[in-house]
Structure 1
C-alpha cells in the first residue's frame, strides 16, 4: 500500500515521529487496521532506547540500554502480534534464575522462577519472612490481573473504571484500599510491613533504583513488589541475539502491513493548518502530510520546545511542561569478557540474569541523595546484567558480555561526593567514574579487570547525544514520582496522549504508564486512534 502524493509531499493517514518501541507499536497497530502510516526516525537505525551493537569487539553483541524484555513479553501488544513478530525472527531467551543481590560479607540472595527454591533461600535468613513471602505469592495470581489491568488501561478511561469496578466486585473495597496503600508507599514502608531481614529488603528495594525510587520515596513500592512476584511467577526474558531483534521484527512487521520507516529523518517542524497538526517537514526538506494524526514518540519538551512550529505552541501547556522534571542520569558500562565474573559470594551467582550491587537501603538512600545534589555518588548502585548466561549467542564460545547499568547519577555534575574526581562535565569525568564502578565490581568479583577484553563507557551525556529524549541521561524520560505519574503524566489534565493541538498526540516513556519495554502507551494510543 503506497502513500498518495500531493505536490512534493507524501500523504499518509498517520505520521509517527520516533521509531522507539512505543512508536512502532502504535504504527504497527494502525497499519494493521488499514491506516497508511509512516514512521520518521532521526537516528540511522530504529530502536530508541532498545538497541544492540558490537560496541567492544567483533562478535560481542551488547544491548546499549534496555536488556530485560519481560514487560514486552507480557504486554497486550505482544499478545496481539507475537505470531507476526516470530515470523520476522523475534524470539525470547528465558531466564529461570532472574535476579540476585550480592553482599559485602560474601553472601547472596536471589529470586528464581520457583517458589520453593525462593522460600528455602529466604527461610535460611528468616522463617517468618519465608511465611510472609508465601502469603504474598499465594495472593499474587488473584491480584495481578487487576493490577496489570490498571497499568494497561488509558488514564483515565471507561476501561480503567471497568478495571476498578471488577476489582471491587471480586476483591472488595478493602483490597482496593490496600492496593492504593501499596501504590502510595515507599519501598522501605512496604518492605518493613512484610519482612524483617535486611538482606531480603535490600534485594527487593534495589528494583526501585531502576526507576528513581530511593528507599524512602513515596510511590516506589509497586515496582519492587511486581518485579519480585512476576519474576518468580513467569521468569525473566531477554531477546535472542540482542534486544534489537525486537525492533527489527517490529519494523519488518510494519513494512509487511504497508507501513514505512524512514531513518536519518530529523524533524525540522511539525506544521499546523486550521488549528490542526497537519504535516511534518524534515531537515533535509522532505515533507509528509498527515490526514488523521501525528504521533510524537518523543519527550514532550522536545515536541513543544523544538518540533512544533512556534506560532502553534499552546502557552499554558508549554509552561506546565517546563516543570516536568527529569529523573536521575544513568551510565552504561559494556564489557567483553573472557569469562564470567568470579563472584566472591559463590559460583551460583553466575546463573543469574541480573546481579544487583546495592548492599543495603542506607547505601541506596545515600547514592540517591548524592545524585540529587549534583554529586558523583561515592558508592554507585549497580545492575550487573549477565545476558550471555541466558543467550550465549551474544559472544564467541567461552566468552561473555557484561551489561552494567550505573544507578543513579547527576545529569550535571556539581562535585564528587568522594572528593577524588575534579571534572565537572561528563566527557571529562566518565572514564574516572567508570574506574570507580569497576572498583565496586572488583570488591564483589575479584579479578574482573583481568577478564576484560574490551569496554565501552556511555555517560549520561553520551546517552542524550545518542537519543535526545534521554535528557541529562535520564532513561526514564521524566521522573516517576507521584506528582508526575498516573493522571499527572506528563502534565495534569493531559494523560490520555492527546495535546492541546488537535491531531497531535504523544506516546512513549514520558506518558502513562511510563518507562519500560511494555509498549503500553504506543499500543493504547494506537487502539484509541483506530477505535479498537
Structure 2
C-alpha cells in the first residue's frame, strides 16, 4: 500500500527544506525526496580535494539565510540542531591590475579611507549613501519579501507613496529599472569603485548593461557595510544538516538517493509522486516541486498551454565553473596583505571587461578573461582545513554550458571533459597574476565544470547557479511565469518552489517560506 504524507516535496534544496520545516511546524506530515546522495542542492560541503579540507560545493555566503524572515522564525530551533555561523567583518574587495584594491568592511572609516585614496568625491558619496541606507532599506527589503501578487504590490506601492511621496516613488522606480552601469556611472566617478560594486551584479546574471540590475550592487554594498557577511561554521552545510534534523525531529522524513520520475495526477489534481524504484508516495494536500521549470515539465507532462510555454521558454543564465583548492597558505596578494582579511576578493577589473565576458559566455565562447570570485573562508573559519592550511573557493564566471568555441582562440576543445583543465589554467593564471606564488601553494585541486554542477543538481541547468536569469522579463510577477510567481501551477495541489520562483536565487529561503506560509495559512 502506498505511503501517504500531507505534503510531498521533490528535492532537498534549502527552499524545499525550509518549506517542509514550516509545514511540519504547522502540523503537516511531510516527506522530502532527493535524487542526490546528499541533501542541500547547491548548499553543501565536502572534502573535495584532500581529507580535512572542507569546501563549499557552490554557495558560500549565508548572509541572506541568516538575515531572512525564515531564520528569524526558526533560528533558535536550527541552532539547537547544530546550525552555527561565523561572522565576517570584511565581506568583499576587488583587486585591480594596476596593483590597487578597494574593499567594503563593517568598519565604515576603513571603507571610506580606501575610497578616499582612489577618489575623495566617491568617498563622500559613499558616506551619504550609507547614511541614507536605514531609510531606504525597508522599501527594498519590503519589496523583496513581498508576495508577488497584484494586491501585495498595490499595498507595497501605497506604503511607498505614503513614505516617499510621488517624486521619491518615481525615483525608486527608475532605480529599480536601471542597469548596474547606469546607476554606478551616475553615482561614482572612479572606475575601480564602479567595478567593485558592479561585480555583484554578475552573481545574479546582471551584467553591467542589463536593465533592472542596479539594486543588487547597491544592496550588497550597503548590506556589506552595515552587517558584514556570515559563513557557515565548518561549511555552508551547517544550515542543511540542521534543517534536515529539525524536520526529522518534527516527524518528517528526508530521503536521499530517491529519484522522482513523475508526478502522479488524477484529472487536474496532483496526488503524489512515483520514484525510480517503483514506489508511489501519495500526498493528501500538496506536492511541492523544488525543480527548475523545465524539470517540472518533465515530471508533469502537459498542463495548460500558456503555462507550459512559459516553462519551456524559461531562460537560464550562463554557467559557472568551480575550482576548489587546498592550499599551504592564503594567496599573497600583490595589491596588499590586507586582502587576506576579506571573505571574497573579486577579480573583475572593469565594467567593460564584465560586459565583454558576459557576452562571450552568452555566445557560447569560453571567455578570454573570465571573472573570478575568490573565496577565502579559512581566513575566518580555521575549522575548514588542517592547522596552518587553507581552502580557496574560486568561482569562475562566466562559463557557457555548451561550448561553441574559445574567445581567445587557444582552446580547441568544445566538450567540457577536454576543455576543463585548460580553462581552469586560464583562470588560475589570472589569480597568479594578482597573487604571485599561489600556484606553488596548491596541495590539490578539484575542478567542477558547468555540466558536473548540473549532473549533481539538475536545477543548475548548464551550470547556471541561480536557476534562471533574473532579467526583468523573468522576474517579479514573471518568475517563472505571469500569474505563477507564488509557486502555483495550473494543476491543483501542485506547487513549484526554489530559485526559479519569486523572489529568486540566493540563500534566503524566500520562495520556500512564502509558499509554505501560503499553504499553511500563516
Same fold (TM over 0.5): yes
Counterpart of 1:105 in structure 2 is 98
1:157 Cα deviation after fit: 5.3
Q: Output the CA distance in 2 between the equivalents of 1:43 and 1:371.
A: 28
Counterpart of 1:145 in structure 2 is 138
1:315 Cα deviation after fit: 3.1
Aligned partner (choices 74, 79, 102) of residue 81 of structure 1: 74
1:15 matched to 2:8: yes
1:520 matched to 2:510: yes
Could you list the per-position Cα deviations for residues 197-225 of structure 1 after superposition, in whole angstroms to 9, with x for gaps in the alignment?
Answer: 11100100011111211111111111100
Counterpart of 2:317 in structure 1 is 327
Could you list the per-position Cα deviations for residues 71-108 of structure 1 after superposition, in whole angstroms to 9, with x for gaps in the alignment?
Answer: 00110000000001100111110110110000111111
Aligned partner (choices 148, 165, 169) of residue 155 of structure 1: 148
Counterpart of 1:425 in structure 2 is 415
Q: Output the CA distance in 2 between the equivalents of 1:510 and 1:355.
A: 28
Give the TM-score of the pair, scaled to structure 1: 0.97
Q: Output the CA distance in 1 between the equivalents of 2:485 and 2:471.
A: 15
Could you list the per-position Cα deviations for residues 254-284 of structure 1 after superposition, in whole angstroms to 9, with x for gaps in the alignment?
Answer: 1111111111110111011132000111011
Counterpart of 2:261 in structure 1 is 268
Counterpart of 1:488 in structure 2 is 478
Query: May I ask how many residue pairs the two structures share in their alignment?
Result: 522
1:45 Cα deviation after fit: 1.1
Give secondary structure in 1 for the equivalent of 2:491.
Answer: coil
Aligned partner (choices 234, 252, 261) of residue 227 of structure 2: 234
Give secondary structure in 1 for the equivalent of 2:264.
Answer: strand
Contact 1:317 1:500 in 2 (8 A): yes
Counterpart of 1:257 in structure 2 is 250
Contact 2:321 2:449 in 1 (8 A): yes
Contact 1:19 1:47 in 2 (8 A): yes
1:160 Cα deviation after fit: 4.0
Aligned partner (choices 426, 434, 449) of residue 436 of structure 1: 426
Q: Point out where structure 1 has 5 or more consecutive residues left out of the alignment.
A: 1-7
Matches within 5 A, 1:118-137: 118-137=111-130
Matches within 5 A, 1:18-417: 18-156=11-149, 158-304=151-297, 306-308=298-300, 310=301, 313-417=303-407
Moved more, 487-496 or 152-161: 152-161
Q: Output the CA distance in 1 between the equivalents of 2:380 and 2:152.
A: 37
Counterpart of 1:502 in structure 2 is 492
Give secondary structure in 1 for the equivalent of 2:118.
Answer: coil
Q: Output the CA distance in 2 between the equivalents of 1:181 and 1:271.
A: 45
Q: Output the CA distance in 2 between the equivalents of 1:315 and 1:427.
A: 38
Contact 1:427 1:461 in 2 (8 A): no
Q: Output the CA distance in 2 between the equivalents of 1:90 and 1:279.
A: 31
Give secondary structure in 2 for the equivalent of 1:336.
Answer: strand
Q: Output the CA distance in 2 between the equivalents of 1:317 and 1:160.
A: 22
Q: Output the CA distance in 2 between the equivalents of 1:319 and 1:249.
A: 38
Could you list the per-position Cα deviations for residues 115-142 of structure 1 after superposition, in whole angstroms to 9, with x for gaps in the alignment?
Answer: 2221111112112111111111111111
Could you list the per-position Cα deviations for residues 427-451 of structure 1 after superposition, in whole angstroms to 9, with x for gaps in the alignment?
Answer: 1100110100110000000011100
In angstroms, what is the RMSD of aligned CA positions? 1.0
Contact 1:214 1:365 in 2 (8 A): yes
Q: Output the CA distance in 2 between the equivalents of 1:436 and 1:299.
A: 31
Q: Output the CA distance in 1 between the equivalents of 2:64 and 2:462.
A: 25
Could you list the per-position Cα deviations for residues 402-443 of structure 1 after superposition, in whole angstroms to 9, with x for gaps in the alignment?
Answer: 000011111111110111101001111001101001100000
Could you list the per-position Cα deviations for residues 5-61 of structure 1 after superposition, in whole angstroms to 9, with x for gaps in the alignment?
Answer: xxx211111111110000001000000000111111111111011010000000000
Aligned partner (choices 464, 469, 474) of residue 454 of structure 2: 464
Q: Output the CA distance in 1 between the equivalents of 2:104 and 2:423.
A: 30
Give secondary structure in 2 for the equivalent of 1:97.
Answer: coil
Q: Output the CA distance in 2 between the equivalents of 1:164 and 1:58.
A: 53
Q: Output the CA distance in 1 between the equivalents of 2:244 and 2:233.
A: 17
